[in-house]
Amino acid sequence: MFVITFLATIGRTFLNFLRVSGRLAMFAGRAMDAVIRPPFYPRLILKQMASIGYYSLPVVGLTALFTGMVLALQIFLGSARFNAESAVASIVVIGITREIGPVIASLMVAGRVGAAIAAEIGTMRVTEQIDALTTLATNPFRYLVAPRLIAAVLTLPILVLIADIVGVFGAYTVGVVKLGFSPVAYIQNSLDFLQVMDVVSGLAKAAVFGFIIALMGCYHGYYSRGGAQGVGKATTNAVVSASILLLSADYVLTELFFAQ
């Protein structure tokens, strides 16, 4: 008896997983269709870029600053064990541009923007605003989903570039003020080993992460059910699923970019 219940649970979970993946894939397909086919809404795209990008600057800037500072300190202490302190600047800058910048900035944006998108679209769903949109002959995928996707894909790389710069600046400050590097040598070391690909791969990742964040926010909001509680659940799910997907995509992308 127990075994059957157990197997049934596994089966149900698996079927549920298939259903959710199928629904998500269809949602993503309809969203992409809305992205590439007119009508487009430039006003809405700009508005979303402001709310995703501009208003995320403080959060992203502060986290990048402290992460850069901590990174410099940790790598200095670690590399002291094998007398490689002089490599701190180069390691930090590669670490930030390739990994820390894109991931930290995107995780912060997932928390801020992914949640906001899910809450807004979820509220529109449960208050019948999405139904109203449809009856006014406006496709919610074009009007709501596409502008958010486009804005996130365009904005995240910019945010990450800023996070890179702020992070490196934080590391530089710690390096010079606390660890006794000379300013010129620190900058020299940072630039010497930095390759264009380090930065570009980070920005490309950021665009993908932006897509994931907006998609998860829209998807969970669009399918939210049952009042304030449903919207709350959608918000949480959007942030959690975006964070997990984003980190797994990070691994895949890193393989793609750098595995020989």
Interface ranges with other proteins (CB under 8 A): 120, 123-124, 127-129, 131-139, 143
> Which among 248, 246, 251 is positioned nearest to 107, based on CA atoms?
246
The rounded Cα 203 to chain-centroid distance in angstroms is: 11
Closer CB to other proteins, 3 or 136, in the complex: 136
Q: Crossing angle of helices 115-126/196-222, nearest 10°?
A: 20
CB 102 within 8 A of CB 160: yes
Cβ-based neighbour number of residue 252 at 10 Å: 10
Closer CB to other proteins, 39 or 183, in the complex: 39
CB 147 within 8 A of CB 39: no
Closer CB to other proteins, 124 or 163, in the complex: 124
Closer CB to other proteins, 48 or 237, in the complex: 48
No. of helices (H) and no. of strands (E), the chain? 12, 0
Residues 102/108/191/94 CA torsion (nearest 10 deg): -50
> What does the longest C-alpha to C-alpha distance in the chain come to?
73
By CB atoms closer than 10 A (0-12, 13-18, 19+), residue 254 is middle
Closer CB to other proteins, 50 or 244, in the complex: 50
Q: What angle do CA 248, 250, 256 make, to 5 degrees?
A: 110
Closer CB to other proteins, 86 or 134, in the complex: 134
* Closest separation in Å from C-beta 211 to other proteins: 23
Closer CB to other proteins, 136 or 184, in the complex: 136
Report the alpha-carbon distance of residue 24 to residue 162 in Å, rounded.
Answer: 31
CB 144 within 8 A of CB 121: yes
* Closest separation in Å from C-beta 163 to other proteins: 28
DSSP state of 193: T
